[in-house]
Amino acid sequence: MDIRTPAFQRLLEIWLDEDLGRGDLSANALQAEAKSAYWVAKEAGVFCGGIFAEAIFKRLDNEVNVKHLIKDGEKFDQNQKLLEIHGPGKALVAGERIALNIAMHLSGVATTTHLLASELKGSGVHLADTRKTTPGLRMLEKYAVKCGGGINHRLGLDDAAMLKENHIAWAENIDQAVLAIKESAPWPARIIVEAETAEQAEQAIKAGADGILLDEMSPALLHSLVPRLRALARTRVEITGANTVVIEASGVSPVHLKDYAKTGVDLISTSAPITKSSWIDLSMRFL
Amino acid sequence: MDIRTPAFQRLLEIWLDEDLGRGDLSANALQAEAKSAYWVAKEAGVFCGGIFAEAIFKRLDNEVNVKHLIKDGEKFDQNQKLLEIHGPGKALVAGERIALNIAMHLSGVATTTHLLASELKGSGVHLADTRKTTPGLRMLEKYAVKCGGGINHRLGLDDAAMLKENHIAWAENIDQAVLAIKESAPWPARIIVEAETAEQAEQAIKAGADGILLDEMSPALLHSLVPRLRALARTRVEITGANTVVIEASGVSPVHLKDYAKTGVDLISTSAPITKSSWIDLSMRFL
Amino acid sequence: MDIRTPAFQRLLEIWLDEDLGRGDLSANALQAEAKSAYWVAKEAGVFCGGIFAEAIFKRLDNEVNVKHLIKDGEKFDQNQKLLEIHGPGKALVAGERIALNIAMHLSGVATTTHLLASELKGSGVHLADTRKTTPGLRMLEKYAVKCGGGINHRLGLDDAAMLKENHIAWAENIDQAVLAIKESAPWPARIIVEAETAEQAEQAIKAGADGILLDEMSPALLHSLVPRLRALARTRVEITGANTVVIEASGVSPVHLKDYAKTGVDLISTSAPITKSSWIDLSMRFL
Amino acid sequence: MDIRTPAFQRLLEIWLDEDLGRGDLSANALQAEAKSAYWVAKEAGVFCGGIFAEAIFKRLDNEVNVKHLIKDGEKFDQNQKLLEIHGPGKALVAGERIALNIAMHLSGVATTTHLLASELKGSGVHLADTRKTTPGLRMLEKYAVKCGGGINHRLGLDDAAMLKENHIAWAENIDQAVLAIKESAPWPARIIVEAETAEQAEQAIKAGADGILLDEMSPALLHSLVPRLRALARTRVEITGANTVVIEASGVSPVHLKDYAKTGVDLISTSAPITKSSWIDLSMRFL
Amino acid sequence: MDIRTPAFQRLLEIWLDEDLGRGDLSANALQAEAKSAYWVAKEAGVFCGGIFAEAIFKRLDNEVNVKHLIKDGEKFDQNQKLLEIHGPGKALVAGERIALNIAMHLSGVATTTHLLASELKGSGVHLADTRKTTPGLRMLEKYAVKCGGGINHRLGLDDAAMLKENHIAWAENIDQAVLAIKESAPWPARIIVEAETAEQAEQAIKAGADGILLDEMSPALLHSLVPRLRALARTRVEITGANTVVIEASGVSPVHLKDYAKTGVDLISTSAPITKSSWIDLSMRFL
Amino acid sequence: MDIRTPAFQRLLEIWLDEDLGRGDLSANALQAEAKSAYWVAKEAGVFCGGIFAEAIFKRLDNEVNVKHLIKDGEKFDQNQKLLEIHGPGKALVAGERIALNIAMHLSGVATTTHLLASELKGSGVHLADTRKTTPGLRMLEKYAVKCGGGINHRLGLDDAAMLKENHIAWAENIDQAVLAIKESAPWPARIIVEAETAEQAEQAIKAGADGILLDEMSPALLHSLVPRLRALARTRVEITGANTVVIEASGVSPVHLKDYAKTGVDLISTSAPITKSSWIDLSMRFL
């Protein structure tokens, strides 16, 4: 996660604006001194958010120092200390809630991802995220998914083309839809086709898609379809330039992950780490 | 929720920036026509987000029309249609994910709030939110809490003063902390003291606090403490100008809400609708 | 005044943009060296603006050091030195006018406030500001009012609800208007009713208003009305939760302040420190 | 005044942000209908601000219509109607204060300017503004000065070069300072030298300055000096390319304007319309 | 090119800010009426910029209508009319220079691209752009390259990973560098390795790179190397999942394009359309 | 060039946003250490862009140090080292392309300016730029023109008024157009009239224009016209306040510069350094 981007700097200002508003009433009224504090976990999980906490506190006061006792992506136990903070009291008090909110949410995402990814361990199948992310937090939640052991799918509408029902209808058929993207998009952009039937998947492969998303298909169906699609891909090298295809299953309930892991797909994409996770409870204690 | 604010307009740009990035690859490649679509619920819940969906689609193309079949704050059943959208196809496709993401998340918050608030029905006790909100979505999540039947607590650090351990330490004691805020804050700003013990609660009332937050106290303790605090408040009218106080319990597990509802507190504040809710599954279907 | 807010940072950029435009022509043409300078008052007054001056100079060049010889809110005499500045000459020259403009204006507001507040000294009545503030400078002018010994009224339309003629008409009557706000606004938000007649004031109190603004009433009328309203408030504790009300007079000419101070109101709100003050003349002298 | 500029659009957002904050509490709580209203003057003056009022209301709701009964720069009497507004009630209520604040302040500036400029009527001497303007409102106040019959001096540090004590010291002398600007600045940029003595004024003219600012000199001194400077300018045509110079007096008390009007200067620059004016009282009445 | 993005909207404001500054002096001084105008080419070329011209004029005044006589990407002759504009005169005058500047520059890029791409016609080799683009105009120049018949390479540092000398050194070798990206980047992100020698190119293919950039190699060397690399790629299907690789030549002088077109590479990437093109002369004529 | 302006700070963010997007994929994947690098010229030219390069690298990481071996505006030879950079590797790698792009483009502008200005050497005629500049880079390209030995014309529509065909038509004639500007614009604003015929030029001078732009006239015509215009200007001192006028030729092909240099004009304005220059090839080499 690259916090140097203007996009992240804009977010940081949004967060402060939202909580500080016209200014912290208590900071305006009271004299404060330098304080030390630490973060402690009230339940176990996978940490995510230390780098953002540091950015928040330092934006409030450049004198704040943050010492990371655990890195983003590492596991922690209940009662474990996660980071130490030292600096002007007003910055610590003003940044506490914002920093905890982001880290509690993201650690929830990372922890849920970790649980789901564990189901796929050893299968060679990756758990990937989707574009179902909390508006404003896409990049942070995708970072949390990586912290939890998942991989990232495309970051936005400009990052890879995913052709769905409407796109195909506009282009009249899959062949022409794929062709239109190839002619228009930057060459490194992947083309993924969302297939609702085996026939669509086959057409997409013949058309030269880089990835096939198989939505809401049963493990049994995938079991027979996936090898067929891979074989079909191997035949296309002369025509379309690649004999492989990335096959992705979506619409998979977390409880069936293990069944899908055996179907030979490359990825299982799921929004569950974002849409179905709870925040991990963290606390900031002042010394 | 007032979407005319510059703060909301900034958010809207953040959301589009995040998903569109350098531009929708498929919109650039394909010709699209006008389309109609509708939203349908894949599970029952309380709706929240229709006004934001409309703002998102109209920002993408002013020609889009949104017809609300259900208002924010209303309940819906599984398979119920929620809104209809008609307009240029590229706007519908580009806005679909962002609009659904915000509505699915907020409807999750509203639905969870509704469930929790139902526990308090008839008790006269209100369910209130906290500042534990997703960074960037504070005002929207607080709107969702209202849609679900809860009430809003302070909106930010500038909206009411909540005196915690550190503030009290800086001012040396509760009396001086409350006094400092009274002298510095705008007169309409409420002063709330977070009390960890019965003694602190009593000192806060004597000092003239408008609200007392009683954190992590048992129903039994509250049962005896609340009437004592109310009686104490009634004695203070000559000195501090009000003989009432708003008493709030926090740190309450959702499963114990009914027990706390009988303790005589005014509010139970909880972040559960935000930190422990799942998204409600909604789908956009094109005609 | 909390200069860490994004709102203040945006203001600072607006100010620099306005004066620097495409860049200081003389700074581009000349070589400058480090300089020392000080600010001196050309007339007596109450100071306000030192913290903004420092922010302006440091934004131009982080090497600038500002030494405050007097704090915001303190009185100064003619010819008194107010602050010392040392740093790169181009930053001092580029920031001089912006910093003086803000401090001269705000010191004018603080000084006028001080004069008016002195009229109320010993009466227990507070001088409060209003929302009649210079667009873009609301928070700074409210800070200046506090520097001059006044108190702040609500900061904006989101900070407390003030029900006026239109709002009451939309809700049909005062009772329903107050009720609508109570159900919609965050609980700490105060509800103030602007009453044009004694009857309206009484209705507002019965409806549970936290504050009553009595506009353009004579001292004689207030003299009899205020005790009646306070008595009425004492009767409402069972129904509405508070037996006190904040009573505010507005539309008071500065020359009649002392008359109004004896009417028993809590506040006299006036925009005079902003709408009728002159700038205090300050000068920056280079050593 | 060009309200199409991004600079004005940014200002407009700052104003709304400041007053609406997280949203108008009463607009969120109440249902409103379309309303008509008008502005009326509670005292006579010169109007300024109608174009900004319209921009404010239309930003809040594009359905609002504003009818200008009087143009910016025209005089009005007490009780005269100034503009009519019709549109959604929530937009009228939310924009009322912001729009009136800007128009009351700017009409104060225009009215004071008009009074001062009247002193110079028939003399051929222009009243000009300075860079002593309220931070954030420079262009609007300069527009108000024009509405009142004054003329605008340079708009910012990038718009013309004014050489003061420090600049001259850095360049070692006036000659070299003027030369450095000529070599560095765009050719249309004027060079003005602030002269504290007659000698400096003469050096500046010899160096080729376009304008001379004579600060805090008596009418008597100016009376003899101005013709001397003009004669000197006539001699320089071969060397510096122009035989005229704009001569400006500053540091002139408003009470002495008429004396200075006879000294032969071209301009008298004064910040009085901004630093010493009161707001003109205007009121918005709903029908 | 997707002009709905916040990124494009920010650019548009930058352009207007730059030219309008504090406002168009002539628009402020003069009364204008509605005008019609058209654009005419003073030399032949490939057009690019019509969609931006329309956005610029409509941002200045929503009443402006633009009729496109030729689409972006189409060729035009000297003296051909390109578009017609009708609307308020002040908008036409204020937008003329900005709109022409962007279209003249981009048409220059499109025309140069077209000339270079023509050299490759029939060869099956694509002409691609690079990240050497004018700061602030990346997406527009890449759009112009497509208008001229080229294809786009990666859009930024986040869009595909290109491993150069430093990256390889940090990871110790090509294998580990490719692996690190595969583990960290979103799965659709391509990995391209810049190879300075044939050995590096072979290592990169073995490591699983999606693309190989061969910098500053002679046609003769490429002639023998490219088939070798393709053969190597075909062997890797079991290990790395793809038996094809995109081979790109860079550092190619425009005069040698035809020689490189016969080497069997897929792409020749060049910054020449941006770094070495002149603007196409277009003129706006008022009727 | 004043990089302290908010306008430049906004540009810097635009540049980073454009290239970093959602974050540098390689920086996220790899561990980097501190690096040293230098810039070297691959061809000779006039340097421009060192101050921007430093700003770019320091924005990415405040730890970066840049040592300027040559100043903006100085000439360099092929293979000459231009600057040295030391700092965190990720900042060097992320900033390299942006910094080089801006410096290569601007050095191209400076170098072309230098070549053209050399044609005028000794003639006393200045080479000036125009408003034909790359959108977003106006101030930087004008800085580059100065680095190359040219001078800057007006910076934008607010900086001087240039009256063209439309303006004159709106005002009915040149006299009234000039008068309208004089009454409306700040006094230091110059008024320039674009004359298409000798008659228009004479009318403009009589009307009091500060500058005359003579577009697309032959050297022969100018040879006779310029002295006539100067003589006419000398006659106007009593009426309009200045007996000089700045005479500018435009529409001059670079190949005829020397012919125009002898016509007696003050300036030759040309967009050639921007519209017809190529980038200078610079390279960043890591140690």
Residue E142 to residue E155: CA distance in whole angstroms? 8
Rounded mean pLDDT of chain E?
95
**C200 inside 8 A of chain B by CB:** no
Q: Report if residue D155 sits inside a domain.
A: no
Residue A240 has pLDDT above 70, yes or no: no
**Does D24 contact chain C (CB < 8 Å)?**
yes
Q: Which of D105, D111, D157 to mutate to test the interface with C (most CBs of C within 10 A)?
A: D157
Task: Kindly tell me if the per-residue pLDDT of A197 is higher than 60.
Answer: yes
Listed in order, strand segments (DSSP E) in chain D are 34-41, 45-46, 65-68, 75-76, 81-88, 126-128, 161-163, 191-195, 211-215, 246-250, 267-269, 282-286
Residue B285 β-bridge partners: B38
pLDDT band at F155 (very low <50, low <70, confident <90, very high): very high
Q: Mind telling me the catalytic residues of A?
A: 97, 132, 164, 194, 215
Mutate to test the interface with E, among C13, C22, C25 (most CBs of E within 10 A): C22
Which carries the bigger pLDDT value, residue C28 or residue E175? E175
Q: What is the pLDDT of residues F97-148, one digit of tens each?
A: 999 999 999 999 999 999 999 999 999 999 999 999 999 999 999 999 999 9
DSSP string over E245-285 = -EEEEES--GGGHHHHHTTT-SEEE--HHHHSPPPP-EEEE
What per-residue string of b and e applies to C35-71 under the rule 16 or more CB within 10 Å gives b?
A: bebbbbbeeebbbbbbbbbbbbbbbbbeebebebebe
Phi, psi of F227 (to 5 degrees): -60, -35
CA distance from start to end of chain B? 31
- pLDDT (tens digit per residue) in D207-234: 999 999 999 999 999 999 999 999 999 8
Chain C CB contacts of A61 below 8 Å: 4
The answer on pLDDT for D238 being more than 70 is no
| C5/A22 Cβ within 8 A | yes
Percentage above 70 pLDDT, chain F? 98
Q: Which two tokens stand for residue A51?
A: 């780098």
**Residue E196 CB partners (closer than 8 Å, separation 6+):** E165, E215
Nearest by CB: D23 against B1, B9, B156: B1
Contact present, B58 and B9 (Cβ < 8 Å): no
CA distances from D130 to C101, C281, D230 (A): 11, 15, 23
User: Is the CB of residue A81 less than 8 Å from the CB of residue A71?
Assistant: no
- Chosen from C9, C13, C17, C22 to mutate, greatest number of chain F CBs within 10 A: C22
Q: Are A7 and A139 in contact (CB under 8 A)?
A: yes
Distances in Å between the Cα of D269 and the Cα atoms of C264, D216, D272, D273 are 48, 11, 9, 10
Contact residues on chain E for C22, CB-CB shorter than 8 A: 21
Nearest to B185 among A29, A35, A138 (CB): A29
User: What is the model's pLDDT at position E237?
Assistant: 65
H/E element holding C285?
strand C282-286
Pair D77, D109: CB distance under 8 Å: no
Residue A149, in any domain of the structure: no
This model of the complex carries an ipTM of 0.96
Instruction: Please indicate if any CB of chain F lies within 8 Å of the CB of B21.
Output: yes
- Distance separating alpha carbons of residues D55 and D73, to the nearest angstrom: 18
Residue F127, token pair as written in the block: 């080479």
* Average pLDDT of the residues in D16-43: 94
Q: What is the pLDDT of residue F241?
A: 59
The pLDDT-based confidence of A8 (bands split at 50, 70, 90) is very high
| Nearest-Cα residue of chain B relative to residue F21 | B21
Let me know whether D171 and D240 are in one domain: yes
pLDDT of residue A16: 98
**Cβ contact D157–C184 (<8 Å):** no
The per-residue pLDDT for A160 is 95
Q: Is the predicted pLDDT of residue E240 greater than 80, yes or no?
A: no
Q: Looking at residue A238, what is its pLDDT?
A: 58
B4 vs F: CB within 8 A: no
Contact B249, B268 (CB under 8 A): yes
Contacts with C185 from chain D: Cβ below 8 Å: 25, 28-29
Q: So what's the pLDDT on residue B27?
A: 85
Beta carbons within 8 Å of E152's beta carbon, 6+ residues apart: A185, A186, A187, E128, E129, E142, E145, E146
The amino acid sitting at E236 is R
Q: Assess whether E173 and E224 both reside in one domain.
A: yes
Residue A15 lies in a domain: yes
* Separation CA F88–CA F65 (nearest Å): 10
F chain contacts of residue E170, beta-carbon cutoff 8 Å: 30-33, 89
> How many Å apart are CA C33 and CA C39, to the nearest integer?
19
pLDDT of residue F238: 58
- Provide mean pLDDT across the span A134-153: 98
CATH of the domain at D250: 3.20.20.70
Confidence of residue A28 (pLDDT cuts 50, 70, 90): confident
The reply to whether F235 and F282 lie within a common domain is no
Q: How far is CA C56 from the centre of its chain?
A: 21
Q: Which residues of C touch F6 (CB under 8 A)?
A: 13-14, 16-17, 20
φ, ψ dihedrals at B36, nearest 5°: -115, 145
- Do residues C112 and C192 both lie within one domain? no
- For the segment E251-275, the average pLDDT, to the nearest whole number, is 95
User: What was the pLDDT predicted at E235?
Assistant: 84
User: Which chains would you list as touching D if contact means 3+ CB atom pairs under 8 Å?
Assistant: A, B, C, E, F
So what's the pLDDT on residue D243?
75
Q: pLDDT tens for residues D81-91?
A: 999 999 999 99
Pairwise CA distance, residues C155 & F64, whole Å: 43
Could you tell me whether strands F65-68 and D126-128 are parallel, antiparallel, or unpaired per DSSP bridges? Answer: unpaired
Helices F89-119 + F6-20 axis angle, to 10? 120
Residues E73 and E107 in one domain: yes
Ranges D162-171, E9-18, F228-237: which has the least confidence? F228-237
Arithmetic mean of pLDDT, D74-78: 98
CA separation for the pair E278, A179 (Å, rounded)? 32
Please identify which residue in the block is written with the tokens 């500047």: E101
* Contact status of B146 with chain C (Cβ, < 8 Å): yes
Q: What is the pLDDT of residues A63-91, one digit of tens each?
A: 999 999 999 999 999 999 999 999 999 99
Using left for φ > 0, alpha for ψ between -120 and 50, and beta otherwise, residue E122 falls in left
Query: Is the confidence at residue A119, as pLDDT, over 80?
Result: yes
CA C182 – CA C185 distance, rounded (Å): 6
Apex B53 CA angle, B51 and B58, nearest 5: 100
Q: Would you write out chain B's pLDDT as a tens digit for each of its 287 residues?
A: 999 999 999 999 999 999 999 999 998 899 888 999 999 999 999 999 999 999 999 999 999 999 999 999 999 999 999 999 999 999 999 999 999 999 999 999 999 999 999 999 999 999 999 999 999 999 999 999 999 999 999 999 999 999 999 999 999 999 999 999 999 999 999 999 999 999 999 999 999 999 999 999 999 999 999 999 999 998 876 555 677 899 999 999 999 999 999 999 999 999 999 999 999 999 999 99
Whole-angstrom CA distances from E247 to A207, A211, E209, E233, E256 are 21, 21, 10, 11, 17
Same domain? D94 vs D14:
yes
Question: Residue B96 belongs to what domain range?
Answer: 6-118+277-286
d(CA C205, CA C213): 11
Residue A278 contacts residue B157 (beta carbons within 8 Å): no
Q: What local confidence, expressed as pLDDT, does residue A81 receive?
A: 98
Cβ within 8 Å of residue E15, ≥6 positions away: E56, E98, E102, F135, F136
pLDDT for E32 = 87
Strand stretches in chain F, DSSP E: 34-41, 45-46, 65-68, 75-76, 81-88, 126-128, 161-163, 191-195, 211-215, 246-250, 267-269, 282-286
Residue E239, pLDDT above cutoff 60: no
Instruction: Kindly list the distances between the CA atom of residue C287 and the CA atoms of C53, C87, E18, E276, F94, in Å, as whole numbers in the listed order.
Output: 18, 12, 37, 52, 44
The overall average pLDDT reported for chain A is 95
Asked if residue B147 is part of any domain, the answer here is: no
Q: CA E5, CA E52: separation in Å to the nearest integer?
A: 13
CB within 8 A of E216, min separation 6: which ones? E250, E251
Flag whether pLDDT at D158 surpasses 60: yes
CATH assignment of the domain containing A29? 3.90.1170.20
Cross-sheet strand order for the sheet of E65-68: E65-68, E81-88, E34-41, E282-286
pLDDT (mean) for A207-216: 95
What strands, in cross-sheet order, belong to the sheet with A246-250?
A126-128, A267-269, A246-250, A211-215, A191-195, A161-163
- Look up residue E196 and give its two tokens: 């300075």
Is the residue at F51 inside a domain? yes
Same domain, A170 and A98: no
Report how far residue D206's alpha carbon sits from residue D173's, in angstroms, rounded to the nearest whole number: 12
- The beta-carbon neighbor of F28 closest among A1, A6, A7 is A1
pLDDT at D28: 87
- E73 and E42 both lie in a single domain: yes
pLDDT of residue A180: 96
Residue range C3-21, pLDDT digits in tens: 999 999 999 999 999 999 9
Chains that contact E by 3+ CB pairs under 8 Å? A, B, C, D, F
**Average pLDDT of the residues in D273-285:** 97
Residue A215 and residue A130: Cα distance in Å, rounded? Answer: 13
Helix or strand run (H / E) with residue C88: strand C81-88
Residue B106 lies in a domain: yes
Label each residue of chain B as H, E or C.
CCCCCHHHHHHHHHHHHHHHCCCCHHHHHCCCCEEEEEEEECCCEECCCHHHHHHHHHHHCCCCEEEECCCCCCEECCCCEEEEEEEEHHHHHHHHHHHHHHHHHHHHHHHHHHHHHHHCCCCCCEEECCCCCCCCCHHHHHHHHHHCCCECCCCCCCCCEEECHHHHHHHCCHHHHHHHHHHHCCCCCCEEEEECCHHHHHHHHHHCCCEEEEECCCHHHHHHHHHHHHHHHHCCHHHHCCCCCEEEEECCCHHHHHHHHCCCCCEEECCHHHHCCCCCCEEEEEC
Please tell me the distance from the alpha carbon of residue D224 to that of residue D241, in angstroms, as a whole number. Answer: 25
Cβ contact, residue pair C22, E21, below 8 Å: yes
In a domain, D124, yes or no: no
pLDDT tens track for C152-169: 999 999 999 999 999 999
Q: Give the mean pLDDT of E11-38.
A: 94
Q: Which chains neighbour F (Cβ–Cβ under 8 Å, 3 or more pairs)?
A: A, B, C, D, E
The one-letter amino acid code at D151 reads I
Cα separation, A134 vs A141, whole angstroms = 8
Residues D55 and D76 in one domain: yes
Q: Is B97 a catalytic residue?
A: yes
H or E segment at C38? strand C34-41
Residue F121: predicted pLDDT: 94
In which residue are the tokens 């003005």 written?
D192
Task: Identify whether residues C87 and C14 lie together within a single domain.
Answer: yes
Touching check for E94 and chain D: CB below 8 Å?
yes
Q: Please check whether residue C200 is in contact with residue C167, taking contact to mean a CB–CB distance below 8 angstroms.
A: no
pLDDT at F22 over 80: yes
What's the gap in Å between the CA of C265 and the closest CA on chain E? 47
**Residues E45, E80 within the same domain:** yes
Q: Write out chain F residues lying below 8 Å of C58, CB-based.
A: none
The pLDDT tens digits for D92-140 are 999 999 999 999 999 999 999 999 999 999 999 999 999 999 999 999 9
Per the CB < 8 Å rule, is B246 touching C187? Answer: yes
| Mean confidence (pLDDT) of chain D | 95
| Domains contained in chain F, number | 2
pLDDT > 90 in chain F, percent? 94
C280 touching D (Cβ < 8 Å): no
Q: Which residues contact D169 (CB under 8 A, 6 or more apart)?
A: none
Q: Please give the Cα distance from E20 to A161 (Å, whole number).
A: 38
Residue B99 φ/ψ, nearest 5 degrees: -65, -45
Q: What is the pLDDT of residues C188-235, one digit of tens each?
A: 999 999 999 999 999 999 999 999 999 999 999 999 999 999 999 988
| Residue E79 placed within a domain | yes
DSSP designation for C212: E
Predicted confidence at residue D155, as pLDDT, reads: 97
Question: Are residues E72 and E31 part of one domain?
Answer: yes
Q: Are F205 and F241 in contact (CB under 8 A)?
A: no
Higher pLDDT, D237 or A118: A118
Q: What percent of chain D has pLDDT over 90?
A: 93
